[in-house]
Structure 1
Amino acid sequence: MSLQIVGITMFQRYVLAEECCCKVIITSEECDEEIAMYAKQNSRVVVAIIAQDSDFVIYNAAQYYLSASHLDLNKMTTNVYSSEELVNCNNLDDPQWLPVIAALLGNDYLSQYRLTAFHRRITNWQEDCYIPHSHLIPAVAKIVTNKLELTMSVDDMSTILNKEVFEESASDENELAIKNALKSFYLLNTPSESKKNELDEYSGKLLKAMRKHSNFDPMSEQVLVHQCVQYTNALEDLNSRSKKGSRSLNSPLKKPLVLIFRPINLRFVGILRKHQQEIPGKDSVDEYAVHSAESVKHPNKVEVSFPPFDFDLLELTESNDTTLVSEKLKIFLWAVTGKNLFTVINEESEVGRTSEQSEMERKFLSIKPKFSIVSLVLYYLYRCENILKLEDIDLFVTMFVILDSESATRMNDSELDSDLKVTKKIRAQPDYKAVHLATVFNWGVEAIGRVASVFGPFLPSSSFAHHNFFDGILFQKIFMGKIIIDKSSESEAAKTTRAAIFDFMKLES
């Protein structure tokens, strides 16, 4: 029996793939659509889907759709969701209408907000609140069954529904939204437009090689196939700014998170597209990100940062040759800091570059491997963006030291010293400067981890394990002064960790 798990971290993927010998599938598409597609195409071997997304009731992709939130592993019981029962409960005559009705109720492609006027019109709803589904679903179903035929194509349905839903506001943009909403449910009949993008031979081999690695990041596929990047919708990043556009006084951030890490993200794109540098159109990428009200609706076209040196990324990605680690490290550090660590013997030819170890590499390699990525995050925020101060770095390093100490990991809660005791009780009113510090730090881990994934597992898997270096409650306590460490009494290992990270911070960017 195979078990497919989605929404897991790089480290969890590593454990599943390398230690448990499980097949791990990573996608840059909507994962629920990919799961439903896989289930439909492999109906003989797929018994059920375990998840918690109403879309799976509409897909009707497997014989059973089981509830993840109600799953009891001790009793091995859960709830079953049935599309047939959904049809019966709403007095519908055919389950094949469910995708159209679901699309007109609203989804990721056609928002409920966009459909508000339509919903109120067909239900005659006057109250200032959400329309109950008991009123809305029958009204939508009536429109669908009266205006459409099941034999119609998605294109024909979209044209008719555009006029029916939006009336005077009908437009090409609205019709496209309806079409995409329908396509997201009619999986097998309407292949995704993005699948039609053709890859050049090198990019195809590169993508195939990267997919073999347990730390593969789907953003790489977005860059090579879809010509775009999409970042987490951090809405708090919008809300932390005043109406005048200035940052909140409680926030240490000088600008939105997306813009803070844009230099790294664009160098990441440049590494992936280095072999396409001379091709028109490859010098920019569509960036979907939340950092202004407008950018939520439309992508920003931003210029790619190409590495100022040549390399064969396919060779680096496919090979486990230890002699290539130095080259990978130099490219990796360039992506984070923008510093070119390659030196050239023959100025007329890049072939003559040396691989001598720079001071930055030496100090970076002296850091405990599990803290390699997070130390780069701190360096970037301190040296490159000037967001963190040394005292802020000390907060993080203190947390690393505590989490890394053998004594703390061996002791249970009752045995911990009172000064180090970390309770599970979260403060009702957390300090939002600490929250913003933690947020920008974790975004950095994601951005730099994404770059590292391009080269496969050349960094230890422990450097991707979040529990090794971050604990939100612990960080809050250190920030608030609830935990004060006597650095003179730290173990030699802790002192070495602290010294190595601060030594790295002293390097000029």
Structure 2
Amino acid sequence: MGVKGLQSFMDRCCPEACVPVDLREMARQHVAKSQQVCTTSANTTRPTLVVDGMACLRHWYSCKDWVCGGQWREYMDVLKSWVEAFTLAGIRLVFFFDGVVGEQKRQEWVKRRRRVNGEISKIFRHMKAHGEQPGRELFCLPSGLATFTCFALRSLGQEVFCSVQEADYEVASYARLHGSMGILGQDSDFIIYNSAPYLSVAMLQIDSLTTVLYDRQRLCQTIGLAVTQLPVLACLLGNDVVSEERMQHIRNGAMATYRIHNTAPHSGAPQGQMVLAVSHLVNSLWGRLEEEPGLIPQSLNLSASHRQLLKRGICSYLLPEQEALQGGAISALPSAPAFENHVSPEILKACREKHVAAEGFMVYGVVWEGVTECSNTLEDAEDVELLPQALVYKPCRQLIYGLLLLLHGHDGSTVDPPAVREWFVYPGNPLKEPDLVHPVPVSLPCDQPSLDLLWFGTDPEVSALRLRSFLSVFDCQEYFELYGAVEDTLLAALCLVTYIVLQVQTLSQEDLDAYLSQAVCLRLKSTQELQRIKLPFLSSRAVQLASLYVRGLSHLLGANCASGCPLPSAALMPWHSFDGRLFHSKYLLSHSSTEKTVLLDSDSSCLSLFLFLREKVTDTCRKRGRVLQSRPSDPGQSPKTTPGPRYRDGYTGRPPGGGESWRERGETTGGHGGGWRESGEAWGDRSEYENTERLWERGVYGIGGVRGGRHFPPQPHSYSHFHDGRAQNMLHRPKQSRRGSYQSRGRYRLAPRWSQPPAPGT
């Protein structure tokens, strides 16, 4: 992002503009300057640093295993330490994150996504060849990192904003309006904006709080321009608004003229010569005292469309009060929300407020912009067995759109259902145009509630309606009775795992066991224990399943927002429910036919909880005709499958909307079409699994059951309510007021051992 080659020019050819600074000293000087302006020191506020959160993600995520889905607990510790360093120095932080992708930048966004797809292919080839992740040169951020970082920083008490325009513009505007001490980021656009000083996060040393300040005044002295001429320079060099290709002929002419008058080449790289050549052109055509940089000289060889593009690019750097001086704003908000006819004004207002405060997910883009996007995910384009996450979660998104947008007339008919434009990156999608996805109504025992009722309703019955709406998005209505009996984090994980198993027909019993054992065991692990986990090698399939799960967490978040937040957002955060290294270890163990006691860390309470949750998933899936089978694979590589038909999106596998599936091709289990079980390819004789299932059905693995002479006592608030796989005397309606920490309610704890197993239901 930013201006092509400008920052490298400053680093290599203009060192006098790259000033080392101590942020503590800079903060003290900022306070002293503010006190001189104010009549009394009481009016002086803490020095504020505006942080470009998107630019900091690579700086923050320093955890070792980045391909495994994210080491979220460790990442949270990094964020906490980072924030504390500035807090102790008396510096206030304000964070901004990208909230929209402007249509004028869509092509640039697509170009980057395609480039990253190529890098992801290299990552998977390396893993399959060497059984380990590649070096940092192919580093890829874990899925959903930006989304969850917003919530992480808010949980640490920080001010976080999500943009409704170009994020760089909002950062620069906020910093200028509030007199901030600086902007911390890694984008040369902040050199162009006439705002607060631009500080490099790449050069930041957190222990000493030192970094490099890129001084725009010194840059201008070196290249012979005024600060007000920097937007023209940026657009002619190429940026996200004016692509490098559009102005190539202008730069070629400038370079030719520059070389005629400067026979001795500049001491820097060719890009350094280019910056100087374009600077000379700008100075000669615009003049140092040009009253309106937005005016394009007629002598510049541009077509009408390119002239208009250049003007728009130049004006995009003008901040609000600067726009007023130029005769009008150019960064105005859209004239009207995309789907204002499908939601009330109150919903529109709430959507925007939640989005700006980084409290919501997905709903603003859908309702206001009519568009949603998802960046690259670690998915192997050569694996024909696993569907891309975008297709796995498409039915879920359609139901979310249904909650947000579907209006019903008095006769029960749906009123003018709109289509949401989806820009989702996945193998086989050329990203030439968005997918048009229509909303689908959720299935509820009553009529679909209005969005106003779900979001603003105060009657006790509304709390239950919110939860039922949320569960319906994942086809998990049966889990309503589990609310209050299990931790909210586990309830959410149960919904997500069930949905994945129902949607991905190639998932096996081993995959389910890996997902559930990870969720159960994570609750008892410290960050240090998670860091000490050793992985003998990496499985490319486990990497994909981890990314699939984390993308699912963001869909849980979107469904929760659309349903009126029946669950606290904290319960959906990955640091409470997922660790990539732990999941990978459970995957390798599960596919190596490890005993369940070992898989559950030899902890009897974890084993009981795991078996209970697994029974819930398998029972729910069985009711929908989905029977899981054991299918252990070589953990070192993806299971070999017969390629299926190639669909419109170029992906081979189970079609998202019908057609020939792996079940119909005879690759399924359980007697459908002569699958692997009939052909004798099942692992072992499955006696361990069959014995486990029989023991569970008889209550031996139930609460208070016995295995091998060991007693498993009932767990408070939860297990004592269950026997024979059914819920008894449970909380049937969520309370409207739910104060306190979500972790403290319904937590599974190991109770004192009983000398005799309890009677069912006690």
Preserved CA contact (<8 Å) 1:4 1:24:
yes
- Residue 422 of structure 2, aligned match among 269, 273, 287: 287
2:93 — aligned with what? 3
Preserved CA contact (<8 Å) 1:404 1:468:
yes
2:370 — aligned with what? 227
Instruction: Provide the C-alpha distance between the structure 2 equivalents of 1:160 and 1:39, rounded to a whole number of angstroms.
Output: 36
Look up the SS of the partner of 1:185 in the other structure: coil
Instruction: Provide the C-alpha distance between the structure 2 equivalents of 1:320 and 1:73, rounded to a whole number of angstroms.
Output: 46
Work out whether 1:336 is the aligned partner of 2:455. no
2:241 — aligned with what? 109
Instruction: Provide the C-alpha distance between the structure 1 equivalents of 2:460 and 2:206, rounded to a whole number of angstroms.
Output: 43
Instruction: Provide the C-alpha distance between the structure 1 equivalents of 2:490 and 2:186, rounded to a whole number of angstroms.
Output: 34
Work out whether 1:192 is the aligned partner of 2:331. yes
1:244 — aligned with what? none
**C-alpha deviation, 1:10, in angstroms:** 6.4
- Residue 260 of structure 1, aligned match among 392, 415, 425: 392
1:80 — aligned with what? 213
2:588 — aligned with what? 480
Which deviations, in whole Å up to 9, do the C-alpha atoms of 1:349-371 show, x marking residues without a partner?
xxxxxxxxx53422576543113
Preserved CA contact (<8 Å) 2:533 2:582:
yes
After superposition, the Cα gap between the structure-2 partners of 1:193 and 1:461, relative to the gap in structure 1 and judged at 3 Å, is closer
Preserved CA contact (<8 Å) 2:161 2:358:
no
Question: 1:168-317, aligned counterparts within 5 Å?
Answer: 172=305, 178=310, 181-188=313-320, 189=323, 190-192=329-331, 194-198=333-337, 199=340, 203-210=344-351, 211-212=353-354, 216-234=359-377, 237=379, 240-241=380-381, 248-249=382-383, 252-254=385-387, 256-275=388-407, 283-291=418-426, 295-307=430-442, 309-317=447-455
Q: Which moved more, 1:179-188 or 1:283-292?
A: 179-188
1:354 — aligned with what? none
Preserved CA contact (<8 Å) 1:373 1:463:
yes
Work out whether 1:42 is the aligned partner of 2:178. yes
2:493 — aligned with what? 374
Which deviations, in whole Å up to 9, do the C-alpha atoms of 1:426-465 show, x marking residues without a partner?
77x7322122111222111112211212345431344222
Instruction: Provide the C-alpha distance between the structure 2 equivalents of 1:30 and 1:195, rounded to a whole number of angstroms.
Output: 12
Preserved CA contact (<8 Å) 1:36 1:61:
yes
Preserved CA contact (<8 Å) 2:343 2:404:
no
2:226 — aligned with what? 94
Instruction: Provide the C-alpha distance between the structure 2 equivalents of 1:290 and 1:13, rounded to a whole number of angstroms.
Output: 22
Instruction: Provide the C-alpha distance between the structure 2 equivalents of 1:295 and 1:177, rounded to a whole number of angstroms.
Output: 26
Instruction: Provide the C-alpha distance between the structure 2 equivalents of 1:284 and 1:398, rounded to a whole number of angstroms.
Output: 39
- Residue 68 of structure 1, aligned match among 201, 205, 216: 201
Instruction: Provide the C-alpha distance between the structure 2 equivalents of 1:97 and 1:475, rounded to a whole number of angstroms.
Output: 53
Amino acid at match of 2:317: F
**C-alpha deviation, 1:383, in angstroms:** 0.6
RMSD after superposition: 4.0
Instruction: Provide the C-alpha distance between the structure 2 equivalents of 1:258 and 1:381, rounded to a whole number of angstroms.
Output: 12
**C-alpha deviation, 1:382, in angstroms:** 0.9
Which deviations, in whole Å up to 9, do the C-alpha atoms of 1:195-231 show, x marking residues without a partner?
3225569544214334359763353222222221122
| Count of aligned positions | 451
2:165 — aligned with what? 29
**C-alpha deviation, 1:36, in angstroms:** 1.5
- Residue 422 of structure 1, aligned match among 514, 521, 533: 533
Which deviations, in whole Å up to 9, do the C-alpha atoms of 1:450-494 show, x marking residues without a partner?
121234543134422212222222333333349986533323145
TM-score normalised by length of structure 2 = 0.52
Instruction: Provide the C-alpha distance between the structure 1 equivalents of 2:240 and 2:414, rounded to a whole number of angstroms.
Output: 33
Preserved CA contact (<8 Å) 1:11 1:215:
no
Look up the SS of the partner of 2:620 in the other structure: coil
Preserved CA contact (<8 Å) 2:185 2:201:
yes
After superposition, the Cα gap between the structure-2 partners of 1:132 and 1:501, relative to the gap in structure 1 and judged at 3 Å, is farther
Amino acid at match of 1:409: S
Instruction: Provide the C-alpha distance between the structure 1 equivalents of 2:588 and 2:240, rounded to a whole number of angstroms.
Output: 40
**C-alpha deviation, 1:307, in angstroms:** 4.1
Q: Which moved more, 1:274-283 or 1:297-306?
A: 274-283
Instruction: Provide the C-alpha distance between the structure 2 equivalents of 1:216 and 1:158, rounded to a whole number of angstroms.
Output: 46
Instruction: Provide the C-alpha distance between the structure 1 equivalents of 2:172 and 2:370, rounded to a whole number of angstroms.
Output: 25
Look up the SS of the partner of 2:192 in the other structure: helix
Q: Which moved more, 1:76-85 or 1:204-213?
A: 204-213
After superposition, the Cα gap between the structure-2 partners of 1:216 and 1:56, relative to the gap in structure 1 and judged at 3 Å, is same
Instruction: Provide the C-alpha distance between the structure 2 equivalents of 1:158 and 1:24, rounded to a whole number of angstroms.
Output: 41
After superposition, the Cα gap between the structure-2 partners of 1:476 and 1:293, relative to the gap in structure 1 and judged at 3 Å, is closer
Bigger proportion of residues as helix = 1
After superposition, the Cα gap between the structure-2 partners of 1:217 and 1:362, relative to the gap in structure 1 and judged at 3 Å, is same
**C-alpha deviation, 1:505, in angstroms:** 4.2
Look up the SS of the partner of 1:78 in the other structure: strand
TM-score normalised by length of structure 1 = 0.74
1:343 — aligned with what? none
Amino acid at match of 2:350: A
Look up the SS of the partner of 1:86 in the other structure: helix
Look up the SS of the partner of 1:373 in the other structure: helix
1:349 — aligned with what? none
Preserved CA contact (<8 Å) 2:390 2:424:
yes
Identity %: 22
Bigger Rg, structure 1 or 2: 2
Q: Which moved more, 1:367-376 or 1:143-152?
A: 143-152
Preserved CA contact (<8 Å) 1:87 1:95:
yes
After superposition, the Cα gap between the structure-2 partners of 1:305 and 1:143, relative to the gap in structure 1 and judged at 3 Å, is farther
Which sections of structure 2, spanning at least 5 residues, go unmatched? Answer: 1-45, 47-91, 98-144, 259-267, 324-328, 625-762
After superposition, the Cα gap between the structure-2 partners of 1:132 and 1:430, relative to the gap in structure 1 and judged at 3 Å, is farther
Instruction: Provide the C-alpha distance between the structure 2 equivalents of 1:361 and 1:457, rounded to a whole number of angstroms.
Output: 15
After superposition, the Cα gap between the structure-2 partners of 1:480 and 1:487, relative to the gap in structure 1 and judged at 3 Å, is closer
- Residue 609 of structure 2, aligned match among 485, 493, 496: 496
